[in-house]
Structure 1
Amino acid sequence: MVPAISAPEPYILWMTGAGVLIALVAWLPLALKRLPLSLPIICIAIGAVVFSLPGVLLRPMPLAYPEFTERFTEFVVIIALMGAGLKLDRRFSWGQWRVTWRLLAFTMPLSIAAIAAIGGWGLGLPWIAALLLGACLAPTDPVLAADVQVGPPRSGEEDEVRFGLTSEAGVNDGLAFPFVNLAIALGLAASSGEPWLGEWLWHSVLWEIGAGVAGGWLVGLFFGWLTFHVPAASQLAKTGDGLIAIAATFVSYGVTEIANCYGFLAVFVTALTLRSSHRDHQFNHEMHALTEQVERLAMMVLLILFGGALIGGLLHALRFEDVIAAFTIILVVRPIAGVIGLAGLRAAGSEKLTIAFFGIRGVGSFYYLAYALNQLAFADSARLWAIVGLVVLLSVLLHGLTVTPAMRLLDRRHGRDPDAASP
Structure 2
Amino acid sequence: MIENYSLFLLVCGIAFVFGALFPILFKRTPISLPMLQLSFGLLMGYFWTSLSFLNPLDNGLIIEKLTEIVVLVSLVGAGIKIDTELSWRLWRPTMRLLLITMPIGIFAMAVLGYYAFGMTIGAAILLGAVLAPTDPVLASSIQVGPPNTGGEDTPRFTLTSEAGLNDGLAFPFVYLAIKIAEAYSEGQRFTGEMLWSWFTHDVLWKIGAGLLVGIVVGKVMAKLVFSKYSRETTMSQGYVVIALTLVAYGLAEYVHSYGFIAVFVAAFAFRRSESEHTYHHKLHDFAAQSEGLLMSLVLVIFGMFLGQGLQAGVELTWRVYIVSFTFLLLIRPLGGFIALSGLNLPRTEKYAISALGIRGIGTLYYLSYALNQGFFNDEDALKLWIVCSIVILSSIFIHGLTAKQLLKMTPKKTY
Give the TM-score normalised by structure 2.
Answer: 0.92
- Given residue 275 of structure 1, which amino acid in structure 2 is its aligned partner? R
Counterpart residue number, 2:122: 128
The secondary structure found in structure 1 opposite 2:114 is helix
Q: Which moved more, 1:367-376 or 1:45-54?
A: 45-54
Is contact 2:18–2:37 with CA below 8 Å preserved after alignment? no
Counterpart residue number, 1:3: none
Is contact 1:104–1:172 with CA below 8 Å preserved after alignment? yes
CA distance in structure 1 between the aligned counterparts of 2:274 and 2:80, rounded to whole angstroms: 11
Q: Which moved more, 1:175-184 or 1:218-227?
A: 218-227
CA distance in structure 2 between the aligned counterparts of 1:273 and 1:107, rounded to whole angstroms: 25
Pair 1:39 & 2:55 matched: no
Offset at residue 375 of structure 1 (A)? 1.1
Cα RMSD of the aligned pairs, angstroms, is 2.1
Q: Aligned runs of 1:151-230 on 2, under 5 Å?
A: 151-156=145-150, 158-192=152-186, 193=188, 195-230=193-228
Offset at residue 400 of structure 1 (A)? 0.5
CA distance in structure 1 between the aligned counterparts of 2:5 and 2:195, rounded to whole angstroms: 52
Q: Which moved more, 1:18-27 or 1:397-406?
A: 18-27
Q: Which moved more, 1:45-54 or 1:180-189?
A: 45-54
- Mark the CA change 1:279 to 1:31 in structure 2 (over 3 Å): closer, same or farther: farther
CA distance in structure 2 between the aligned counterparts of 1:122 and 1:37, rounded to whole angstroms: 32
- Mark the CA change 1:199 to 1:209 in structure 2 (over 3 Å): closer, same or farther: same
Counterpart residue number, 1:419: none
Pair 1:139 & 2:133 matched: yes
Counterpart residue number, 2:300: 304
- Mark the CA change 1:239 to 1:24 in structure 2 (over 3 Å): closer, same or farther: farther
Match of 1:344 among 342, 353, 364: 342
Is contact 1:76–1:298 with CA below 8 Å preserved after alignment? yes
Query: Per-residue CA shift, 1:152-191, capped at 9, x if unaligned?
Result: 1122251000011010000000101000100111111223
The secondary structure found in structure 2 opposite 1:239 is coil
Offset at residue 14 of structure 1 (A)? 5.5
Offset at residue 127 of structure 1 (A)? 1.9
CA distance in structure 2 between the aligned counterparts of 1:140 and 1:117, rounded to whole angstroms: 20
Offset at residue 242 of structure 1 (A)? 4.2
Pair 1:325 & 2:323 matched: yes
Runs in 1 of length 4+ with deviation above 6 angstroms?
A: none
Is contact 1:50–1:56 with CA below 8 Å preserved after alignment? no
Offset at residue 278 of structure 1 (A)? 1.1
CA distance in structure 2 between the aligned counterparts of 1:120 and 1:11, rounded to whole angstroms: 40
Give the TM-score normalised by structure 1.
Answer: 0.90
Gaps of 5+ in 2: none
CA distance in structure 2 between the aligned counterparts of 1:289 and 1:325, rounded to whole angstroms: 38
Is contact 1:115–1:329 with CA below 8 Å preserved after alignment? yes
Q: Aligned runs of 1:23-422 on 2, under 5 Å?
A: 23-54=17-48, 56-156=50-150, 158-192=152-186, 193=188, 195-233=193-231, 238-239=234-235, 241-313=237-309, 316-379=314-377, 380-410=380-410, 413-414=411-412
- Given residue 388 of structure 1, which amino acid in structure 2 is its aligned partner? C
CA distance in structure 1 between the aligned counterparts of 2:118 and 2:8, rounded to whole angstroms: 44
The secondary structure found in structure 2 opposite 1:130 is helix
- Given residue 258 of structure 2, which amino acid in structure 1 is its aligned partner? Y
Offset at residue 49 of structure 1 (A)? 2.4
Q: Which moved more, 1:176-185 or 1:114-123?
A: 114-123
CA distance in structure 1 between the aligned counterparts of 2:93 and 2:231, rounded to whole angstroms: 41
CA distance in structure 2 between the aligned counterparts of 1:183 and 1:104, rounded to whole angstroms: 19
- Mark the CA change 1:233 to 1:156 in structure 2 (over 3 Å): closer, same or farther: closer
CA distance in structure 1 between the aligned counterparts of 2:25 and 2:239, rounded to whole angstroms: 27
Offset at residue 353 of structure 1 (A)? 0.4
- Mark the CA change 1:17 to 1:122 in structure 2 (over 3 Å): closer, same or farther: closer
- Given residue 292 of structure 1, which amino acid in structure 2 is its aligned partner? A
CA distance in structure 2 between the aligned counterparts of 1:270 and 1:415, rounded to whole angstroms: 28
